Each structure stands twice: as structure tokens, then as C-alpha cells.
A and B are shown apart, each in its own frame.
Chain A
Amino acid sequence: MLDIDSSLRACLVLLALWALIGIAGLLRPMSLGFVGRMLFPLGALCGVALAVVAATSVGAPAEHAVLKIGLPDLPMHVRRDALASFFLVLLGATSAGISVFAAGYFRRGAGTAPGLMCLQYHLFLASMGFVLLADDAYAFMVAWETMALSSYFLVTTQHGLPEIRSAGFLYLLIAHVGALAILLSFGVMQGGSWQFTFDAMRGAHLTPCWAAIAFLLAVFGFGAKAGLVPLHVWLPEAHPAAPSPVSALMSGAMLKMAVYGVLRVSFDLLGKPEWWWGLVLLALGLFSALYGVVFAAVQTDMKRLLAWSSIENLGIVFAAIGLGIVFHGVGMNSLAALALIAALYHSLNHAFMKSLLFLGTGAVLHSTGERNLGRLGGLIHRMPWVAWLTLVGALAMAGLPPLNGFVSEWLLLQAFLFAHQVPRTFVNMILPVGAALVALSAALAAYVMVKFFGVIFLGQPREPALARAHDAGLLERIGLLWLALGCLLLGLLPTYVIDALRTVVAQFSGALLPSTGAPWWLLVPLAGRQASYSAPVFLIALASIVVLTALLVRRFYHHRVRRAAAWDGGFGRLSARMQDTAEGFGQPIRHIFGAFFAVKRELPSAFDSAPRYGVAVGDRIWQWLYLPLGTLVQRIADTFAWLQQGRISTYLLYSFITLIALLALML
């Protein structure tokens, strides 16, 4: 390892440290004090260090190394380039906040022992880092599978519950179907050289047909990890099953590994992507975005709601990548760079805001024991820290200026606005509809976030037990604060982020967004076009008017306040049951997008002695795709079951026939 450049070495050492911290958890597996107060904060420090190291090396040229570990004659190649650096920053920075939160979160030893959990958690982190550094298919698949397996064990922490076991199984199944597709994609990309290093793949010359096959396989494989519709079914099951820091890590960081994979394959390994590949991604991404957000709006479980919202956000990221590929393919380089920057920026934003929201739900879950939105409410009084910090995440997720979610959406819309110059009439017709869908998804995201925050934290408590809820502990607050600050800074200082992303995108795609020479506080995406946005000025203007108004009202009038009961319409005491439930708040969406849902209603008749009203919203894709698929697999298995006679002589006969057939083939 001596000949490795410094930043790559530092990254590898930090990943190894993560793994070591995990193993150290086994020393005293039952001790919460040791694991929680020592190892998790150490892991957070590693994350910060990793983010710093990777951030300083973003502009540096790529570095290679060969690690003599693994199977004999099959060394692992590693490489750190700008794309890997960017995702390492994302991983390190978000995991730091999540680890600090987790240090305070795992209090009671429910389910898996804390030490074992610590091992799985840090192995998960290290494997994600290694996915980013891997430079051959073998190392990549080992890291990818370690990531899938360690997260599977984390998801099934509470393995005593049958629904959690089945959620974990579904996750594992889809993760492996996806991994198979990725493996096949690598198989196509080696292009007959039988060399599985990424360098060989970069050098291989594929015919357009094979390149397209490799790309589509990669989209299938990575799309399964990212939760693109229709491969999204595991997400709403696995996220609620996992402990909240794990959900945060999966949604914040692991889904981004799929984004990394698609970018790596389409721009780096396959060379120049064709423009129509972009349309595939665009269509998949936009459909996922709309599908995800519509389902998020009708959920009643807060973590499930966030999982659907992740599907939406990843959809937007993939749509941005698709747009970038379309532009790249037709040679509009600066617009391609703009769209790809929007994709990376949104990935980073989503990592921060979704982790923040998942950790917020974790704090709520801890303090109330409830995941069901219908049994929460009014927590802003009992948990002010969690509520206000979660509000930052919710507003960012709703895409409101001056927070970070708005910046990436703004960039993406700017990229869409120029689409009419694409020299393909057909594409020109489709892209405005795409912009409309992005705008619709963003507006629906605001709906979802008002529902999420309003039902959990505002209003009256829907259960008497909520009066005993307590605020998050110190470590948890620090974790939340870290992520909320990230959301704020990413929103307020976009020019610095974009400068870094410009280098990243130029290095991996060759598309350079020309520098506009605008000052640090002004975001100007493209020179020669009047479009600019300045978050700091915007925030100062808004804040100063708000403060000024408050002061003036105070100065010229008074600030007397009387408290009284809420207006009850003259009908007597209001009760918490009169508020909108989560179902009620989602009802307009269920009404408007009725075609998306498989709704099962249970309506009482007028003569029921114990009337019950129930409504269950199901996913049509589950009925139309997965259940028939399952039946098909079952039927095929049944057809071939007669081969399995249970007699040893029959099996010997099979071997004999196979042998003869092979011999005949050889001769």
C-alpha cells in the first residue's frame, strides 16, 4: 500500500477504521455505554474526517491503487476520482449526523445486541465507502453485496416480529435480483476481453446494441436499489421495519449508491451515453417521482410516508440524470452539465433532509412508541427541539426557498427551460411535459410535508399518552442539528457547492458548465441568460421584513395576548378526534389520483350494531406485476417439480444423461 497517493490512502484507512470500530463492538456486545457513548461517536468522527478528506480531494486527479487482499491472483483495484469523492463527502457528512444521533438512540437493548448492531452498522458504512472506491467488478460486487447483507441484518433488528422478517426478505430478494442485473451488466461491459477491471471496461469497444443492453441492465440493477417504479416495492416495507437511524442511512446514503452506479456505468464505463438512454431514465424518473409522491400523500405510517417520498426524490434525481444524458448525447454540453449538477445537488440535499426527517420520526417513535400518524399530534409542545429541527427538514423537502431543496429544483427547472433547443423535435415535445411533471411533484411534496409535519407535531394530541412524551436527548439533538445546519448551509451557499460540482461533472462526463464570474452570493447557472437567485439576499430580505413588521406592530400598537379556548362553533368542547386524521388529510389526493390506488373500503350499513369504517390503500403494481409474477414462478416450479422424484436412482440417471449429453456436445 506504499505507493498510494495520500487522499486515497486516507479514505481507505478511514473505511478500515469504520470496520474496526464495528469489530470493537463485539468486545463488549451487551454494553450500551461502551457501544453508544464510545464507538458511535467515534464512527461519527470518522465520517467527518472522511467528508473532509474527500472534499479536499474533489479537484485532484484520479488516483489508482491495487490492494493485495481477497482471493489469490484476484487483487482488488481501487480508485478515487471526483465522482467517488463527491459521494464520499455525501456518505461521510450525513453518516456523521446519523451516527451521533444513533449514539443516543439505541437505549434499550431491544432485538439485536448493541455490539452486534454496531458491527453491522459500521460494516454497512464501510461497504458503502468501498462501493465508491472499487475499480473492478469483483471488488464492486463484494462491496455491493456486503452493503446489501449488512443492511438486511440492520433492517431485521427486531426479527421477532413476522412482518419485519417478511419486509427484510422482500428487501433481500429485490436487492439480489438487482445485483444479478448489475453482474450481467458488468459481464456485457467487459466486451469479450474477460478482464473485469473497470479500466478494461473503459477500453472495451461495444457495439451500440451491446452498450444499450449493458446500460439497461445497469438501470434495472441500480434502479432496484434506488427504488425506481416498478422495483420500488421493498422501500415502503423495509424503511418502517428498520430502526430510524438505519432508515436514515438507507434512505440518505444507500439509495445514492445507486445514483453513483448509474453515473459510473453510463458516463465512465460505457464512455459516451446515447441520447435516447436519457429518455429512458427521464421517463422512469418522472413516473417514479409522481407515483412516489402521490402514494406518500395517502400514507398513515410516518416512516412509510417518508419511504414513498424517497421514491419521489430519487425519481427526480434520475430524471435530472436522464435530462443530462439527453443533452450530453446531442452535444449541448453546458446544459448537460447543468442537469447533472442538479442531479448531484439533489442527491446531496436529499441525503441531508431525508436523514433529518427519518431521525425526527425516530425521536418521535422513541418518545411515544407510535408510528401511526393517527395516534400522534401536538408534539411541538412536548418536543420543541425535535419539532423545530424537523420543520427545517420538512420545509427543505417541500422545496421552499431559501432552503436547500429549492436550489436543486431551481437548477433542474432551469435546465428544462432550455430544452426547446434540443435538435430533436420529438424530444422537444416531451420535455415540457417533463418540466410540468417535476413542478407537479414538487408541489405535491409540499402537500406531503404539510401533512407529515402538521399531523405529527401540530394540533391536539390524539392520544392521552402523548402528554408524557419527552424531548430528544443531547446526542440526538446534536445529530438533528448537524443535519438541519447542512440543509440550511446547502441552501444558503449554493455557489460553493456548484463550483465543486462543476469540477466533478466535468471530470466524469466531460461536460463543463462555464464559469459565469458571478459573486459568491449570487447563483447564475448560465452566463448570457438572465436568471439568477441569491439565497442569502432572499433570506435577509424576508427576515428583515418579518422582524421589522413585528417591531413596528409592537411599537405602534401593543403586544397583549389573551389565551382562551378555541372556537368550537358553539357545540361544546372540542376533542382531538375532530381534527383531520392522516387519512382525512390525504383524502383529496385519493380522490384526484384515484386511478393510482387499489382502494379497499369497508363501509357499514345503516343497521350495523357495531359499525366499522375502514379504508386500505394498496399499490396496483403489487397486484398487476408482483402477484402474477409470483404465481408464474410458482407454476414453473410446479411444472419442473416432477423431476424431483426423491429416489437416488433417478438422480443418478439425470447425472448420467447430463454426462452423455455433454460428451456428445464435445465430440
Chain B
Amino acid sequence: MKPLEILTQALELIAALAAAPLFLGWVNQCRAWLQNRRAPSIWLPYRGIRKLFHKDAVIAENASRLFRVAPYIVFGAMVVAAGIIPSMGTRLPFTAAADAIALVGLLATARVFLSLAAIDIGTAFGTLGARREMMVGFLAEPALLMVIFVASIISATTALPAIAENLATQTLGLYPSLAFTAVAFTLILLAENARIPIDNPATHLELTMIHEAMVLEYSARHLALMEWAAALKLFNYACIGFALFLPWGVATGTGGPLSLLASIPVLAAKLTVTGAALALIETISAKLRVFRAPEFLAIAFMLAVLGVLVHLLLGA
């Protein structure tokens, strides 16, 4: 392990932890602009998290220990995930321990703990949220796996940094299979991060909410960790997308510390554009009924499978 690799790893973790709420704040700001509202401060998510950490935790009488442990596990899973995804450099020492399939497993672990914690209190909201979250998850997870498979088959590896490096360094070619999977991935990103059209992050209307219903019983530091984890999840998904579809600009093995330094503004630019695009998608689309969500996700799944088939058929 070279010092530079460890530096890259540490830098990525810190960047993810620090920038995730900022990214969320940016998306919210863009959304407000697009909807002709006065935008909240871009720093609002930080203030919210800080405020929550200072408050006294109120926990339901029925809560078990699982309920109190879950925020830490969900948060930890998202931080570990951030360590796997090559957002700035591809030489990450930790990624030997977990490849892209393990990343999907890690995201599933977070989802399962979040859902179990939601069931734990035994309210109608919690169980409803958990059920819907698992419904979204069981379709989104295999779809994400198929998306990753396409890139894995192209690069003959399941290690995410190696995929990113391979796609970034080869001569610019257009893969039709990647076009299919990029659409699929966008749908998955929206669904998995509780965005419109599957869920509305701004709603507390019980008939429509998913994520908010699950964390309804959390307060104070537990809620802060959950919110931070949700922000990290969005950040992570965006970075998975960059690694698979926009891998240019990350520091690869050949570059020195300078390329690592150069990757910071590149990542910032990608996040800025993605955040704006996300806000645009959310503004121009309407929320689907919950019954329609499986169709939306089935489309994502089918597109991803189609991507694999297209790649195998056309070899591109």
C-alpha cells in the first residue's frame, strides 16, 4: 500500500462525509429555483444535522435495542460504501475487500436494517414504510446488479475501481449496452433515494411516503445519522453512476498526486450538473401511485437485462 493510495482512500471518505449534505442542499436549492420558490440555504442540511445532534433523543416505549443500533449500522454501511466507490481516484486499497457485488450487498444490508428498525415500533406508518421500501428494493437491487454486470463484462472484472479505470482509459467508444443501462441506472437512482416519481422527500402525507414513514419514530442523534446516511446514499449513487458512465477525470494509477488534486474540481462539476439534472427530473415528473412503482422498477430491470443481452449480441 502506497501512501498515496491511503491518502486517496482517506480523501474519498472525508469528501463523501463532508460533501453529501452539500449535494443534497444543492439539489434542494435547484428544485426550489425550478419551482419558482425562494431557495433555502445550501447549508441547510448541515444545520439540520447539527441541530439534531444537540437534541435529546426521544424513543418510543416499545423500541428494542435493534431500533437504537440500526442508525449506526445504516450510517456505517453508507460510509463503507463510500470507501468502495471510486469517486476521485481508482487506487483504493480497501476495494480489494469488497467489489461491486459486495457494494450491492452492503446497500441491501442498510436497507434491511432500516426496514427492520421501522417495523420495530409497531406502528402503521413504520410497517407501511418498511413494506414499500422492501418492495422498491427487491426490484431495484437486481436491476442495479445487472447494470453493474454490463460494465463488469465489458471490463472483465467486478472491482468497481478497475471498471472505472478501464472505461476511463480506453479510447472513446459508444457502447449501446451502456446507454440502456444508463437509463436503467437513472431510474434506480430515483427509486432507491426516495425521489419523485417513487417517493417524495418533501412530503409527510402518509399515503405516499416511503422513506419518511420509516424514520418517523427517530429523533435527535438517531435521526441525524439517518438523514446523513440518506444524503450519503444519494451521493454514493451519484458516484456509482460517475464510475460506470462518466469515469473521466478520476485519478488513475498512472497519475500522481496532481491528478488526485485535479479530480476534486472534476467531481464537483459532475455533482453540480447531476444535482441540477436530478432537480429537473423531479420537477417535470409527477409522483406515481405506489401501485405503479413496480412497473417503473420493472422497466429499469428489463432495461438492464436488455443491456446485458445487447452487449452479448453486438459485442458492444
Contact = CB atoms under 8 A, between A and B. Distances in A.
Chains A and B form a bound pair = yes
A41 B247 CA distance: 59
A401 B72 CA distance: 16
B157 A534 contact: no
Nearest to A589: B135
Interface in B193-249: 206, 216-217, 221, 225
Given A417-B158, A447-B137, A531-B158, A381 B101 contact: no
Contact of B305 (A414, A436, A587): A436
Interface string B21-65: 000000000000000000000000000000001101111111111
Contacts of A260: none
Interface string B92-136: 001011110110011011011001100111111101101110110
A550 B72 contact: yes
B75 interface: yes
Given A429-B309, A460-B122, A557-B221, A537 B94 contact: yes
Contacts of A406: 102, 105
A432 B146 CA distance: 9
B50 to A, nearest CB: 10
A108 interface: no
Contacts of B264: none
A426 B269 CA distance: 44
Interface residues of B, number: 80
B97 A410 contact: no
B312 A439 contact: no
Contacts of A395: 109, 112
A420 B312 contact: yes
Interface in B259-296: 291, 294
A449 interface: yes
A443 B72 contact: no
Contacts of B162: 530
Interface stretch (A45-53, A202-210, A576-584, A610-618): A576-584
Interface stretch (A364-372, A541-549, A642-650): A541-549
B145 A562 contact: no
B260 to A, nearest CB: 21
A439 B146 contact: yes
B27 to A, nearest CB: 24
A234 interface: no
Size range of the chain A interface in the assembly: 35 or more
A566 B131 contact: no
Of residues B106, B112, B132, B153, which shows the largest number of chain A Cβ atoms within 10 Å of its Cβ?
B112
B183 interface: no
A400 B105 contact: yes
A447 B142 contact: no
Contacts of A657: none
Interface string A415-432: 001001000000011001
A439 B112 contact: no
Interface string A372-405: 0000011011000000000100010011110000
Interface of B (DSSP majority class):
helix
A516 interface: no
A566 B137 contact: no
Interface string B64-92: 11101000110111011001000000000
Contacts of B62: 378, 459-460, 566
B141 interface: yes
Contacts of B75: 545-546, 549
A1 interface: no
B5 to A, nearest CB: 15
Given A542-B77, A562-B58, A591-B294, A537 B123 contact: no
A541 B94 contact: yes
Contacts of B134: 446-447, 450-451, 588
B104 to A, nearest CB: 8
- What 4 pairs across the A-B complex have the smallest Cβ distances? A459-B122, A460-B122, A580-B127, A439-B142
19 contacts: A410-B101, A432-B149, A436-B301, A436-B308, A439-B141, A522-B96, A529-B157, A530-B158, A533-B97, A541-B94, A546-B72, A553-B53, A562-B59, A563-B59, A565-B61, A579-B127, A580-B119, A585-B131, A587-B131
Interface of A: 377-378, 380-381, 391, 395, 398-401, 406, 410, 413-414, 417, 420, 428-429, 432-433, 435-436, 439-440, 442-444, 446-447, 449-451, 453-455, 458-460, 522, 529-534, 537-538, 541-543, 545-546, 549-550, 553, 556-569, 574, 576, 578-580, 584-585, 587-589, 591-592
